[in-house]
Structure 1
Amino acid sequence: MTNILLPTDFSDNSKNAIRYTLHLYANEKCTFYILNSAKVIATRSASFSSKLGTTVLENSKRDLAALKDALQAEFTNKNHTFKIIASANDLDDAIEIFAEKYEIDLIVMGTKGATGAKEILFGSNTTKIFKKVTSCPILAIPENHTFVVPTQIGFPSDFNRYCDAKELHFLKKMAKLHDASIRIIHIHETERLSEQQEQNMTTLKQYLKEHKHSFHWIQNYTSKEKAIHEFIDEMQIEMLAMVQYSHGFIDRMLREPVIKKIGFHLKVPFLVIPE
């Protein structure tokens, strides 16, 4: 049984992420926990805040029940069980609390796309959650993304860090869902790998030996973001996965939410694996 947490604000974006997840796990026994944060900003009047909080929480429960009914009507799947959670906590706190309480294996969230002339990487909620939740992977679904069976998963690596079995377990588990090939992407920054990089690459090969995989070298002729974009297009990658190391590639991008020029505008679902 796989336990999946689905935060929602009832927007089309979050509902699309939920539908993507139900397609992705169509053949798996899952319990889906649909979570809504009904946090109310306190006012000077404690009694008014309390009444407002109660009203907002009741509305949240009502809307969650309606969403659950709609999903069960749209997806008649005996493998799937739905539970609803209305929380009075901030979204990031609620996710952290219930991810631990229900032993969540995966969190799936919708992400915002381009706004005006600039590319938005992730909304503030998603950014905070990437940094805060370290107990399980987070799958970010681009706005308006239509489900495509992920048969090619891109996995960028500079081979500078040792990937342990726990980190790669999440990647292999995702690939196993639809027998996807894992495409390891390495962007050249030096002419040859260091001894440590060679060892880490060998370890990665060993961990993936029972899964379809291949290694791809890309010249560092442009930004890493652009190189990854081009690889996604060229190899028809349907999902991108990265490990979120401290001071790593994702961490650097999260410190710069508005990426100018090419940016890192998501085209495919993005699996963020905790270190």
Structure 2
Amino acid sequence: MEKHLLIPTNFSKHSWNSLIFAMNMYKKHACTFYLINAYDSQNFLSEAIALGKKDDEETEKHISEKGLDRIMKGLSFRKENPKHQFQTISHEGDLVEGVQDSVDKYGIDLIVLGSKGDSAGINSGHENSISRITEKVEQCPVLVIPEEYELKSDKKLEIVFPSNFRIPFKQKELLPLVELSESLDASVRVLYINSDLKPLTSEQEEIKAELAGHLSEIPFGFHTLTQTSPSTGVHLFIESRECDFLALYQRKQGFFSRLFQHSRTNELNFDPRLPVLILKELK
């Protein structure tokens, strides 16, 4: 089945890297990549809009279209997969609205974002375009790729997936995680943070068993950390195992939001330095 991926671009290095990463990730799949530039946004996508000195008669729309054309020309030299198709979207208006409109119009399966610097920039306490997209765009998972991240090729890859086993998952909500595991030949490490040292309830045990069924077609394992907060526990697990990806399931109330709640001044400022796949609660 053909995949539809949306790649926001501001014509910067990190947005180009996210496109190349997505192409490599889905190198065995038939895909249409939609490249979107929002040229009237005051945030992420407009920061690098000026590709050179702007002529007096040159409109922002023309600059946006010219930048997208330049990307298409660059892609014309890449012949890795004849099953990869590309379309461009020059959107006048708000970034998040443009992304949501494209998700709805084109049936997007995954949004791939490039984040400037060495972290994913998903901390919801920081007002930036990455967090705005991950929080406000509905019904579509998001993969955030830090600009300076390099995928290791000399080790077995691992994806950390924290869960508190309190709300059941739908199979389709986990499909992007399964596909990421299959594409990268990576194992999924389901991490439970047992902060209060209480045993799992019968309901939690049922949800855990159901999750095991959803992940049965890929390599996975369950892990538990105790006496730590969610953000510190996830960070320590990633550091100790040198994990390669982090997958988070986003609900407005749940484990995802707890990662960014800091009750103490010395609490870790959670901002992962590895790619983050954000799974969405689907209707």
TM (norm. structure 1) is: 0.84
- Counterparts of 1:264 and 1:129 in 2: how far apart (Å)? 18
Q: What's the counterpart of residue 201 of structure 2?
A: 194
- Counterparts of 2:37 and 2:241 in 1: how far apart (Å)? 37
Between structures 1 and 2, the one with greater helix share: 1
Following superposition, the deviation at residue 137 of structure 1 comes to 0.6
Q: What's the counterpart of residue 10 of structure 1?
A: 11
Please tell me whether the aligned partners of residues 193 and 224 of structure 2 are also in contact (alpha carbons under 8 angstroms): yes
Aligned length: 259
Structure 1 counterpart of 2:11, which letter?
F
- Relative distance call for 1:22 and 1:109 in structure 2 (3 A) is same
Q: What's the counterpart of residue 65 of structure 2?
A: 61
Q: What's the counterpart of residue 203 of structure 1?
A: 210
Following superposition, the deviation at residue 183 of structure 1 comes to 0.8
Q: What's the counterpart of residue 265 of structure 1?
A: 271
- Counterparts of 2:249 and 2:185 in 1: how far apart (Å)? 21
Please tell me whether the aligned partners of residues 152 and 238 of structure 1 are also in contact (alpha carbons under 8 angstroms): yes
Please tell me whether the aligned partners of residues 118 and 147 of structure 2 are also in contact (alpha carbons under 8 angstroms): no
- Relative distance call for 1:132 and 1:120 in structure 2 (3 A) is closer
Q: What's the counterpart of residue 24 of structure 1?
A: 25
Following superposition, the deviation at residue 208 of structure 1 comes to 1.8
Q: What's the counterpart of residue 179 of structure 2?
A: 173
Structure 1 counterpart of 2:198, which letter?
E
- Counterparts of 1:123 and 1:24 in 2: how far apart (Å)? 29
Q: What's the counterpart of residue 143 of structure 1?
A: 147
Counterpart selection for 1:235 from 207, 220, 241: 241
Following superposition, the deviation at residue 200 of structure 1 comes to 0.9
Deviation string, structure 1 residues 225-246 (Cα, Å, up to 9, x no partner): 2221221122232111111012
- Counterparts of 2:3 and 2:61 in 1: how far apart (Å)? 27
Q: What's the counterpart of residue 44 of structure 1?
A: none
TM (norm. structure 2) is: 0.82
Please tell me whether the aligned partners of residues 114 and 120 of structure 1 are also in contact (alpha carbons under 8 angstroms): no
Structure 2 counterpart of 1:109, which letter?
L
RMSD: 2.6
- Counterparts of 1:170 and 1:225 in 2: how far apart (Å)? 23
| 1:160 matches 2:166 | yes
SS in 2 for 1:73: coil
Deviation string, structure 1 residues 147-174 (Cα, Å, up to 9, x no partner): 4468311110011111121212222122
Structure 2: gaps of 5 or more residues: 43-55
- Relative distance call for 1:112 and 1:263 in structure 2 (3 A) is farther
Please tell me whether the aligned partners of residues 164 and 192 of structure 2 are also in contact (alpha carbons under 8 angstroms): yes
Q: Which moved more, 1:74-83 or 1:22-31?
A: 74-83
Structure 1 counterpart of 2:239, which letter?
D
- Relative distance call for 1:141 and 1:123 in structure 2 (3 A) is farther
Structure 1: gaps of 5 or more residues: 42-51
Structure 1 counterpart of 2:9, which letter?
T
Structure 2 counterpart of 1:81, which letter?
Q
- Counterparts of 1:102 and 1:4 in 2: how far apart (Å)? 9
